[in-house]
Structure 1
Amino acid sequence: MKKLLALLMALVLCATVFAGCAAKEESSSQSGSQSQSDSSSASTPAGGEKTDFIVGLDVSFPPMGFMSEDNEIVGFDIDMARAVAEKLGLELKLQPIEWSAKDMELNNGNIDCIWNGMTITEERQENMLLLRPYMANNQFIVVAKDSAIKTKSDLAGKIVAVQTDSSGEEALNDDPIKDEVAEVVSMADYVSALNDLKIGRIDAVVIDEVVARYYVEKEPDNFTIIEESLKKEQYAVGFKKGNTEFAQKVQDAFDELVEDGTAAEISSKWFGKDIVLK
């Protein structure tokens, strides 16, 4: 009888322990679910409204967007994007990207748009939703100040650098002179290309006019421009295909900045005159 009673008490004790563990596990699971729910609701604004404007850019593309000596991202496009964000009541977030990965960054939703002196090309028109052109540009050739290269035809037999996946690369590929150059070097950014030009590792760089003039003005003893355009083009802001509603809000805000004179002021700050397309 004593053995039977002890066995019954042991069974009751085990049942109590298991019940307690199950209740604790259920409580922990509910707490974890609640925690995840709270975290999710904290990261999502009430009503699902957008609160930020994430702009993707190459931070070595002055004067459109680049790192200042104070390690801050500045430039014409930055000032315009900030003014647009203020009009829309959004927080501007600047996201540096590899230029060759811009389509992936855009399509993956890591950024809202590419706003960085981006040239309108047929391929980009097919792959992106582009806003109205806002600035004209040329693809020029920059050489060392003491270079013997004076015209485009002088590139024959020379080493020429381009930025990877840039309109400058496309312009060179479309020009007959491409078949005469000794080598085309594809580089990640213009800063690296111009540094290589300065030390004589390459002979020329195909580069956007706005960037070329910025560097020539900054370092007149090192660089000069061949005033012979490889290609005329225009800049536009690019959004992911289908993001029509938000893209239109940005376009409307940009147009307001043109109308009220803000765009002209920002342009004069960076270029000394108003070069924004109306």
Structure 2
Amino acid sequence: MKKIAAVALLALGAALVGCSKNETPAPSAAPAPTPAAVTKIVVGLDDNFPPMGFRDEKNEIVGFDIDMAREAAKRMGVEAEFKPIDWSAKEAELSGKRVDALWNGLTITDERKEKIGFTAPYMENHQIIVVAAKSAINNKADMSGKVVGAQEGSSAVDAVKKDDAVFKSFKEFKTFGDNVTALMDLSAGRLEAVVVDEVVGRYYVAKKPDEYRVLDENFGTEDYGVGVRKDDTALLEKLNKAMTDMKADGTAAKIATKWFGKDIVK
């Protein structure tokens, strides 16, 4: 009996040792959560920039870029949400992920390309000079000694400063929160000229042809594009495809004709 008990104890001990050598299997890693499907893009804009983006008499945001963005979003299967921002802080709004895209007459420049990813250009624009209808200013040379204005943070400011000789000839160069305020100061005589995007300037001149006049000279040609974060390549690719398709099937031309009376899409 003792021998049988001893053998049994040895067998039990061996079994226990064997068990101690078997490590408990590590739990399998949980699968990474599937990224939530993108259902909307937040578009940052200056809501006082007609006819690109502005508020109508019902206080609703409307405009050429608004219609373009809505159509592109629909083709991408998402909703477009429009968020008015301080346009002079647009890069910070984009990098801070408070908006996903800047779509409001945004000029493509080499400096901006360092911080922003741009779609292909969709419109060509000029920085025009608007003066009072009865002004004696007829060209850039006549702007010497005058008080000139532009919207703060706009490409108009950059365009004017690039023309160093003309810029230094001004008596004063003032910047404003928006183009509407600058044009109001022009009407009131506090400014003698305003440099502004052509699409905006001609929109207002057409409304008040007896009050404003556009000079033949301008501060250069530029292209408009939609801006996204540089690392958001997926959104950039989808926007480019949607806009290319809109141009190809005539939708972009229809939207342009609605706002400008002709197809001005590039």
Question: By the TM > 0.5 criterion, same fold?
Answer: yes
Given residue 204 of structure 2, which amino acid in structure 1 is its aligned partner?
Y
Q: Which has the larger radius of gyration?
A: 2
Q: Deviations over 1:86-140 (max 9, x none)?
A: 1112111000011111000000000011000111111111110011011001111
The yes-or-no answer on 1:232 pairing with 2:232 is no
Paired with 2:161 and 2:76, the residues of 1 have a C-alpha distance of 40
* Identity rate, percent: 49
Aligned position for 1:117? 105
Given residue 158 of structure 1, which amino acid in structure 2 is its aligned partner?
K
Paired with 1:101 and 1:161, the residues of 2 have a C-alpha distance of 19
Equivalent position SS for 2:222: strand
Aligned counterpart in structure 2 of residue 168 of structure 1, from 142, 156, 165: 156
Given residue 258 of structure 1, which amino acid in structure 2 is its aligned partner?
K
Q: What is the aligned-residue RMSD (CA, Å)?
A: 1.3
Aligned position for 1:185? 174
Given residue 213 of structure 2, which amino acid in structure 1 is its aligned partner?
T
Aligned position for 1:243? 232
1:48-197 pair list within 5 angstroms? 48-175=36-163, 176-197=165-186
Larger relative helix fraction: 1
- Structure 1 residue ranges (4+ consecutive) displaced by more than 2 angstroms after TM superposition: none
Q: List alignment gaps of at least 5 residues for structure 1.
A: 1-45
Equivalent position SS for 2:145: coil
Aligned position for 2:252? 263
Paired with 2:35 and 2:195, the residues of 1 have a C-alpha distance of 48
Q: List alignment gaps of at least 5 residues for structure 2.
A: 1-33
- How far residue 70 of structure 1 moved from its aligned partner, in angstroms, is 1.7
- How far residue 254 of structure 1 moved from its aligned partner, in angstroms, is 1.1
- How far residue 227 of structure 1 moved from its aligned partner, in angstroms, is 1.6
Equivalent position SS for 1:48: coil
Paired with 1:66 and 1:145, the residues of 2 have a C-alpha distance of 25
Paired with 2:132 and 2:195, the residues of 1 have a C-alpha distance of 13
Paired with 1:156 and 1:58, the residues of 2 have a C-alpha distance of 30
Given residue 124 of structure 1, which amino acid in structure 2 is its aligned partner?
R
The yes-or-no answer on 1:202 pairing with 2:203 is no
Aligned position for 2:27? none
Paired with 2:125 and 2:235, the residues of 1 have a C-alpha distance of 26
Paired with 2:112 and 2:56, the residues of 1 have a C-alpha distance of 29
